[in-house]
A and B are shown apart, each in its own frame.
Chain A
Amino acid sequence: MEDIAQAAIEGALGNGASFADIRIENTVTTIIEMSDGITRKSLASRLKGAGIRAFADGAWAFAQTTNLTRKGMRETGEAVARLAVATKDHVAEDFIIDGPTFEARTTLDIRKPFEDISLEDKMDFVKRIDSQARDFDDRIVNTRTVYGDLSSSVYVANSLGTSVYWENSLPRIISAPTAKEGSNRQRSFKSVGVRGGYEAMESEAAETVGTRAARQVIDLLSSVAAEGGTYDVVMDPVLNGVMVHEAFGHATEADNWPAHTTVLEDKVGKRVGPEHLNLSDDPTLKAERGSFEYDWEGTKSRRRSLVKDGVLNELLHSLETASRLDMEPNGAARSQSFMYEPLPRMSNTFMEPGDWDVDELISDTREGILLCSFNYGYTDPSRGQFMFQASHGYLIENGERGQMVRDVSLAGQILDVLSKVDAVANDFRMDAGTCGKSGQSVPDMTGGPHARIRSVPVGGI
C-alpha cells in the first residue's frame, strides 16, 4: 500500500504540487432491514479505492480512482496536480500547508469480527428485535428493524511524511415501529450504535432496542401536539447533545473562518455563554461511534475543548485550517469515504455535566417543557440560526412532569442560545447519530446532561 501511495504523491509533486495526500480505503458493509418479520433489504457492499488531493499556491484539486495499480495511482496523482495548477490562476490567497507528521499502524481490538458471524445469525438477531417490537402491543401495525455493520481499513499518507494505517468497525441496530389507534398514528425510533465488533450487539441496550422503541410509540399514542409559544425548556441528555451539535458545534468547524461563514468569526477567546458552560468534542473516547485514533488526513486525534468556562476556546481543524489560522491541528478532518475530500467535522460532541440534580432542575422550572430525544436538526452558521426537533416531551406544570407532547421543534440563534442555558445537571448520556455536511455523512455521537434553556420559541401546530 505504501508504494502505490508514494507513486501517487510523487506523480503530484512532479507536476507542480507543493503538497499532496492520499487515502486508500477498503470497506465492507452489510445492511439487513426487516419489516413485519419479512426481509425487505439485505445488502452487502465493498468500497475500494483511493482519493488523491494536490495543492498548489492556494488551489486544491481532488480526484478519486478505483485503479489501485502503481501506474493508475501515478497517473491520477499527475492529473490532480495539473488540475490544481490550472486552478491556481483564480485563487485569491496563497498559503502553505504544513503540520506535524505521524507514522503509525493502529489496529482495533475486536472480539467478534463481523465477517466471522454468519448472515443467518445476523438475520436471526434482526428477526428477534423485529418480533420484540411487534409482540409488544396489538396497536403496533408496522415494525421496521435495520441492522448495519461496517468494517474499514484506511491508509493515509502525505508529502510531508505522514504514513498512517487505521481501522474502524461500526455496528448499529435501529428499531422504528408504527402504532395506530383509531385514526391516530404514531412512529418512534431507537438505535444503538457503537465502535466495536459484533459483541457490541449482544449488550442489553442492543438486545432490548425493539421493546424500548415499541414502548415509546405506544406512549406516543396518548401524546398531544404541543402548543407553540415561548417556553423555558429542559433538554434531556440526547436532545442537549443535538443542541450542542447543531447550535454550536457546526459553527466551530474551522473551515468557516477562511470562508467567513460563521457568526463566531470574531469570538475566539471571547465569552459565548455562562461560566458554568463547557462543550467538548472528543474522538478519543473508547468504543464510541464517533471515535478515531487518526483523522482522514493522518493527524493524531485529541479531545477538543470547544467552550471552556463559557469562552470559545478551540476550533475543529483540518491541516489547511490550522495552517491558515496559525493554530495547532487537532485531528478533526473526516471524509465519508475515499470518494470525498476531508472536512473539519465533529466526532463525539457533548456538554460537560454540571451540578444540578435532574429532579431539582425540573421542579425548579415550575412551568415549561421537558424535551426528549430527537427527530432531526439543522443549522445555518452564516446566519447564526439553528433548529432541531425533539421526538417527544412532557409539559412541566407546577414543577412536575405532566402531559406527553410530540414532535416539538425549537429554533434559535447561535449567539443567543448558550447565554440562555442557566442550569446544567449532573447526569450524562450520549446517543448515536449521523452528521451531514456538504453532501458527506459521518457517524457521530451527541450527548450531555439534562440542561435548561430559558425562554426559547417552541413550534407547535
Chain B
Amino acid sequence: MREKLLSIGEKAIEDVEKLGADQVEVYTSFSKSFSIDVENNAVKSASRDTDGGCGIRTIIDNAVGFAYVTTLQSKDIAEAVERSVALARASVPDPDFVSLPAVSSKYPSVKGLFDPKMESISSEDSAELILAAVDAAREDLSDKKVAVEARINLAVSERGIVNSLGVSGSSKTSFGYLYISPTIKEPNEQTSSYEYRISRNVGDLDPEEVGAIAARNARGNLGARTIEGGDMPILLAPMAVSTVIGGGFSGAVNAEEVQYGRSYISDAIGEQIGSGILSIVDDALLSGGIGSRPFDAEGFPSSRTDVLEAGVLRSLLHNSYTANKDAVDNTGNASRASYAGLPSIATSNLVVEPGHQTQEDLISQIDRGILCRQTGDRPNMTTGDLSAMIMEGSYIEGGEVKHSLKNTLFGINMLDLLDRVKAVGNDTRVTVGAITPSILIESGKVTSG
C-alpha cells in the first residue's frame, strides 16, 4: 500500500505541475480501524472503518491552494488537482512564503511505531480485552449499582508524502486506545470517572489496570462537596496537566500563533518564563511514542526540541512556513490529523521532565489545597487567563485527601502557573496531550459554591 500511496502522489504532482504550479505537495493516507463500544456493562456495537484519501497543496506565485478528496480513485483525485490549482490562483499571495521543505538529511530511525498484532488481532480477542476492563471495574464496584461505558479502538495507518522538491516519505504505524467510564448510582448521588490507555502496542493497553483505576476514582468521587474558596495550592494530576499544559502551553509556543501576536507568550526566547524546576521537551524520536515519527506532516525530518529548559524558553514549535518566516531551524512540528487538512503546528510527544517525589509526597506537603485530576478547560491563548472547572478532584487538608469536590473552579494566568510550579512529581504517564507527572502549583484562586 505504501508504494501505491507514493505513486498516487507522484502522478498527482505531475498533473498539478502541468497546470502551471511552482511547487506541489501530495499527502496520501490509508487507515483501517476496528472498534467496539460497551454500554451498560455489555457490548453494544462494533465498527470497522477504512479511510483513504488524498490532499494536494499547490503553490503558484506564493499563493497556496489546497484540495482533498475522501477516496484514492483517480477521477476524484483529478478533480482535487484542478480545485487545488484554482484555489491557488484565486488566493492572495503570501510574501512570507518561501518554500516547501526540500530534501535535507536522511530520516531518523524511530523504533516501536508499528505493532503487527494491531493488524492481526481478531474481533473476538478485541472484545475480550475491553470486557476484561469492564469486568475489573465491576468487580471492584460489586457493592454498588454501576453502569460501565467503554470503548476499544485499534487502528493501523499508512501515509505517504511527496513533494515537487524531491521529498518522499512513507510510514506505517499502529495505534490502540482503551477507554472505560463507570457510573455509580446511589439513592441520592450519581457520579462517575474515566480512565484510558493509548499505545502503539496492543500489549500495553492493560485492561485490568485501566478498569481498576477507573473504579477506584469513581468510588473516590462519591460524597462530593463544595469548600470555602480562596488562594491555595493546586496539585494537577497528569490528566489535568495534559489539558492545561498539553493544550494550554503547547498552543502558546506554536510559532504561528506567536508570529501573529495571538499567543500569551511573545518574543520571550531565552527568557525565564517558568519555574526553575520545570523543563518541557517536544520529542518526536521517543521509541514507541504515540506522537513519534521519522518525519513530520510536510516530510521534514523529526527531532527533539527543548522548549522550556529549567524555566527558560528555548524554542517555539515550527513548521516550514514559520521557520522560514523567522529564519530559524525548522523543528519538524508540522501536523495534520489526516489527508483532510493543511499542515498546522502541533506537538509530537510533549514531555514534562519528572521530578523525584511521588504524588503522595506532594499531597503530604499541602496544608490546605486541592487536587485536580481532570478538567476540560484550556486558557484564553491570547491573555493566558485560565478558569477551569474541576471535573474530578479532591480537597486536601493537613497533607491528606479529605473529600471529592463539586461546583469548584480554579483560576490563574498561565504565566503565573508556569512560574509557580513548586514541585514536579515522578508519577509520569502517557496522556493524550502530554507525557507527564503531577505538578504542584504554589497558589491559585479557588472558587466553590
Chain A interface residues toward B at CB < 8 A: 32, 34-49, 58-66, 79-80, 83-84, 86-87, 90-93, 118-120, 122-123, 127, 141-142, 144, 178, 180, 185-187, 225, 228-230, 258-261, 263, 339, 341, 375, 378, 380, 382-385, 387, 389, 406-409, 411-413, 455-461
Contact partner of B123 (CB less than 8 A), chosen from A60, A65, A87, A180, is: A87
* Interchain CB contact under 8 A, A375 and B380: yes
Say how far B95's CB is from chain A's closest CB, in angstroms. Answer: 8
Given the known inter-chain contacts A228-B229, A459-B411, please indicate yes or no for A186 contacting B382, CB distance below 8 A.
yes
How many angstroms between the C-alpha atoms of A389 and B377 in the bound complex? 10
How many angstroms between the C-alpha atoms of A42 and B191 in the bound complex? 45
How many angstroms between the C-alpha atoms of A408 and B411 in the bound complex? 10
How many angstroms between the C-alpha atoms of A460 and B94 in the bound complex? 40
What does the 1/0 interface line of B385-408 toward A look like (CB < 8 Å)?
111110100000000000000111
Query: Which residues does chain B contribute within 8 Å of A92, judged by CB atoms?
Result: 40-42
Residue of A nearest to B230 (CB): A228
Does B185 sit at the interface, judged by CB under 8 A?
Answer: yes
Supply 15 further A-B pairs (C-beta < 8 A) apart from A86-B46, A87-B127, A383-B192: A38-B93, A45-B67, A45-B68, A46-B69, A47-B70, A80-B48, A90-B127, A142-B262, A187-B381, A187-B383, A229-B229, A258-B40, A259-B149, A387-B409, A457-B449
Does B167 sit at the interface, judged by CB under 8 A?
Answer: no
* Interchain CB contact under 8 A, B380 and A187: yes
Given the known inter-chain contacts A47-B70, A389-B387, please indicate yes or no for A457 contacting B382, CB distance below 8 A.
no
Given the known inter-chain contacts A141-B261, A341-B47, A382-B192, please indicate yes or no for A461 contacting B407, CB distance below 8 A.
no
Instruction: Please classify the interface of chain A as helix (H, G, I), strand (E, B), loop, or mixed, using the class held by over half of its residues.
Output: strand
How many angstroms between the C-alpha atoms of A261 and B192 in the bound complex? 9
* Interchain CB contact under 8 A, B447 and A459: yes
Query: Which residues does chain B contribute within 8 Å of A461, judged by CB atoms?
Result: 385-387, 411-413, 445
Given the known inter-chain contacts A46-B76, A409-B389, please indicate yes or no for A457 contacting B448, CB distance below 8 A.
yes
Query: Which residues does chain A contribute within 8 Å of B90, judged by CB atoms?
Result: 42, 118-120, 122-123
How many angstroms between the C-alpha atoms of A226 and B229 in the bound complex? 15
* Interchain CB contact under 8 A, A409 and B261: no
Does B270 sit at the interface, judged by CB under 8 A?
Answer: no
* Interchain CB contact under 8 A, B409 and A263: no
Residue of A nearest to B94 (CB): A38
How many angstroms between the C-alpha atoms of A412 and B409 in the bound complex? 10
* Interchain CB contact under 8 A, A123 and B46: no
* Interchain CB contact under 8 A, A457 and B447: yes
* Interchain CB contact under 8 A, A457 and B91: no
Given the known inter-chain contacts A382-B192, A461-B387, please indicate yes or no for A36 contacting B260, CB distance below 8 A.
yes
**CB-contacts of B2-45 with A (<8 A):** 36, 39-45
How many angstroms between the C-alpha atoms of A230 and B342 in the bound complex? 44
Most chain B CB within a 10 A radius of its CB, from A79, A407, A458: A407
Contact partner of A382 (CB less than 8 A), chosen from B181, B386, B445, is: B181
Name the 10 nearest CB pairs between A and B, nearest first.
A92-B42, A459-B409, A228-B447, A60-B45, A260-B147, A39-B91, A90-B43, A119-B90, A459-B387, A387-B389
**CB-contacts of B189-206 with A (<8 A):** 190-192
Query: Which residues does chain B contribute within 8 Å of A178, judged by CB atoms?
Result: 260-262, 382
Query: Which residues does chain A contribute within 8 Å of B40, judged by CB atoms?
Result: 92-93, 258-260
How many angstroms between the C-alpha atoms of A261 and B87 in the bound complex? 46
Does B83 sit at the interface, judged by CB under 8 A?
Answer: yes
How many angstroms between the C-alpha atoms of A47 and B47 in the bound complex? 20
Query: Which residues does chain A contribute within 8 Å of B377, judged by CB atoms?
Result: 387, 389, 409
Does B74 sit at the interface, judged by CB under 8 A?
Answer: no
Contact partner of B411 (CB less than 8 A), chosen from A86, A387, A460, is: A460
What does the 1/0 interface line of B46-89 toward A look like (CB < 8 Å)?
11111110000000000111111111010010011001101111
Query: Which residues does chain A contribute within 8 Å of B391, judged by CB atoms?
Result: 380, 383, 385
Contact partner of B407 (CB less than 8 A), chosen from A187, A407, A411, is: A411
Query: Which residues does chain B contribute within 8 Å of A258, judged by CB atoms?
Result: 39-40
How many angstroms between the C-alpha atoms of A384 and B410 in the bound complex? 19
